[in-house]
């Protein structure tokens, strides 16, 4: 083995030891029950390493599979991922179609993946599903039906999603109820409002994590994130390592959540 190979091996061993230390520290304290993830930086990563943007998105999809495994390993039970925003519809038609095709294939693979059934992962899509291609809508219906009875782990993927649109849609539904005499204005409260969101059955995210160095939540889970802890990582999503993930959890555990009190 040459000197470079020895250095790489030493670096790998050091990284593995550090990862184990972080994992042991994480397991000493409660972890977030629900994590929201903004998977940012696929295109910039692709440009930085000289590959196509589509290849960058593909590596981002592979990274998501890894991160879901890390979440289950430490005991996180709900993950909501920002996969495709309403603003993303404005991207080039070729890129949008590639992303829809990639998501469609990922869902098809999910239904065949024994890990999904072994870990009882329930999959749900939140967003303006009617704006998606019919083939993707059909695949979404199938994967949701195939996993509907599972309750050990929840994986929500936000596609065609915008936080403002979610709130506006909820208001419209409630307004119709009031107009039709099925609901009195004084009956409207937070608990009731939650029922009209895309998925009102899950608790608010304890932690929202974003990669790529951008420090904003970009229209993601606006209602639900009122008291979420925020964590921003400098690395692009495809480069996000397990040590980065564990540091995010440790940062969350070090905070004192007051919920405005």
Annotated catalytic sites, by residue? Answer: 40, 88
Task: Identify whether 36 is part of a domain.
Answer: yes
Task: Identify whether 117 is part of a domain.
Answer: yes
What 3-state class would DSSP assign to 38? strand
pLDDT cut 70: percent of the chain above it: 94
Residues 253/231, Cβ–Cβ less than 8 Å: no
Residues 76/155, Cβ–Cβ less than 8 Å: no
- 176 annotated among ligand-binding-site residues: no
Task: Identify whether 131 is part of a domain.
Answer: yes
pLDDT in the model for residue 242:
97
| Comparison of pLDDT for 57 and 261, the residue scoring more | 57
pLDDT tens readout for residues 209-223: 999 999 999 999 999
- 239 annotated among ligand-binding-site residues: no
Alpha-carbon Rg for the chain, nearest whole angstrom, is 20
- 50 annotated among ligand-binding-site residues: no
Residues 210/231, Cβ–Cβ less than 8 Å: yes
Task: Identify whether 7 is part of a domain.
Answer: no
pLDDT tens readout for residues 3-48: 555 445 555 667 888 899 999 999 999 999 999 999 999 999 999 9
- 57 annotated among ligand-binding-site residues: yes
The residue ranges of DSSP E strands in the chain, in sequence order, are: 34-38, 78-85, 121-126, 153-161, 207-210, 229-232
Task: Give the helix ranges, DSSP H, for 27-119.
Answer: 42-49, 53-74, 93-112, 114-118
Task: Identify whether 176 is part of a domain.
Answer: no
| Residue 137's CATH number | 3.40.1180.10
Provide the sign of the torsion angle of the four alpha carbons 101, 198, 75, 85, taken in this order: positive
Q: For the sheet with 229-232, list strands across it.
A: 121-126, 153-161, 78-85, 34-38, 207-210, 229-232
Task: Identify whether 89 is part of a domain.
Answer: yes
Structural domain of 104: 31-162+206-252
Provide the sign of the torsion angle of the four alpha carbons 143, 159, 201, 61, taken in this order: positive
Task: Identify whether 181 is part of a domain.
Answer: no
Give CA–CA dist 161/183, Å, rounded: 27
Task: Identify whether 258 is part of a domain.
Answer: no
Q: Which of 204, 220, 209, 212 is nearest to 259 (CA)?
A: 204
The number of domains in the chain is 1
What pTM value is reported for the model?
0.92
């Amino acid at each position: 083995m040459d000197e470079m190979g020895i250095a790489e091996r030493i670096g790998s061993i050091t990284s593995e030891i550090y990862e184990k230390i972080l994992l042991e520290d994480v397991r000493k304290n409660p972890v977030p029950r629900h994590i929201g993830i903004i998977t940012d930086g696929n295109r910039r990563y692709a440009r930085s390493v000289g590959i196509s943007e589509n290849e960058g998105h593909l590596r981002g999809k592979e990274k998501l599979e890894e991160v879901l495994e890390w979440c289950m390993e430490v005991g996180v039970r709900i993950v909501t991922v920002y996969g495709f925003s309403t603003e993303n519809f404005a991207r080039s038609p070729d890129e949008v179609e590639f992303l829809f095709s990639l998501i469609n294939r990922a869902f098809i693979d999910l239904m065949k993946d024994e890990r999904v059934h072994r870990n009882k992962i329930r999959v749900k899509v939140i967003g303006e599903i009617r704006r998606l291609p019919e083939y993707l809508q059909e695949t979404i219906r199938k994967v949701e039906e195939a996993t509907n009875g599972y309750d050990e782990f929840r994986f929500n993927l936000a596609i065609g999603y915008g936080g403002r649109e979610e709130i506006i849609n909820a208001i419209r539904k409630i307004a119709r109820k009031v107009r039709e005499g099925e609901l009195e204005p004084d009956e409207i409260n937070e608990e009731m409002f939650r029922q009209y969101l895309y998925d009102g059955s899950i608790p608010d995210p304890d932690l929202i994590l974003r990669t790529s160095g951008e420090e904003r939540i970009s229209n993601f889970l606006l209602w639900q994130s009122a008291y979420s802890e925020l964590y921003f990582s400098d690395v692009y999503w495809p480069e996000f390592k397990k040590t980065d993930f564990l540091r995010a959890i440790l940062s969350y555990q070090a905070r004192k959540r007051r919920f405005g009190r």
